[in-house]
Chain A
Amino acid sequence: MSELLDLNLVEASKALKNKKISSLELTNAYLKSISDTSSLGAYLEIVEDKAIRMAKESDKKLIDGTARPLEGIPIGIKDMFCTKDIKTTASSKILENFIPTYESTVTQNLWNDGAVILGKLSCDEFAMGSSNETAAKGNVINPWLKNKKMSPGGSSGGSAAAVAARSALAATGTDTGGSIRQPAAFCGITGLKPTYGRCSRWGIVAFSSSLDQAGPLTRTVSDAALMLNSMAGYDQKDSTSANLIMPDLMNYLDKGIKGKKIGIPKEYTQDGISEDIVKFYDKSIDLLRDEGAEIIPVSLPHTKYALPAYYIIAPAEASSNLARYDGVRYGARQEASSLDKMYELTRGNGFGDEVKRRIMIGTYVLSSGYYDAYYLKAQKVRRLIKEDFENVYKKVDYILTPSTPTTSFELGKKQDPLIMYLNDIFTVPASLAGLPGISLPVGLDKSGLPIGIQLIANSFDEPGLISTARVLERSIGFNFIADGVAK
Chain B
Amino acid sequence: MSNKDTIVDVPTVNKIARLSRLDIPEANKQSLTNDLNNILGFVAQLDEVDTSNIEPLASVTGHKLPFRSDQVSDGNIEDLVLKNAPESSSGFFVVPKVIE
Contacts and interface: CB of A to CB of B under 8 A. Distances in A.
Interface string A101-113: 1100000000000
A47 interface: no
Given A364-B8, A380-B54, A210 B23 contact: no
Contacts of A287: none
Interface in A7-24: none
B62 to A, nearest CB: 8
A395 B65 CA distance: 31
A333 B84 CA distance: 11
A270 B13 CA distance: 35
Given A239-B66, A344-B21, A364-B36, A302 B57 contact: no
Contacts of A243: 63, 66
Nearest to A338: B96
Interface in A135-169: none
B45 to A, nearest CB: 5
B49 A382 contact: no
Interface string A370-381: 000010111111
A97 B20 CA distance: 23
B85 interface: yes
Nearest to A431: B60
Contacts of A384: 49, 51, 54
B80 interface: yes
Interface in B60-99: 60-63, 65-66, 68, 77, 80-81, 83-87, 93, 95-98
B43 A383 contact: no
B5 interface: no
B26 to A, nearest CB: 12
A447 B46 CA distance: 36
A367 B7 CA distance: 14
Given A210-B58, A239-B66, A363-B16, A339 B97 contact: yes
A329 B84 CA distance: 6
B50 to A, nearest CB: 9
A240 B38 contact: no
Interface in A411-448: 416-418, 421, 432-434
A434 B61 contact: yes
A197 B61 contact: yes
Query: Which interface residue of A332, A357, A379 has the most chain B CB atoms within 10 A?
Result: A379
B19 interface: yes
Nearest to B15: A367
A380 B51 contact: yes
B20 A359 contact: yes
Nearest to B3: A418
Contact of B16 (A101, A196, A349, A364): A364
9 contacts: A97-B84, A99-B84, A308-B45, A312-B43, A363-B20, A376-B56, A377-B51, A380-B57, A383-B55
Interface of B: 1, 8, 12-13, 16-17, 19-25, 32, 35-36, 38-40, 42-49, 51, 54-63, 65-66, 68, 77, 80-81, 83-87, 93, 95-98
Given A101-B83, A360-B16, A459-B62, 4 more contacts: A210-B60, A328-B93, A339-B98, A344-B22
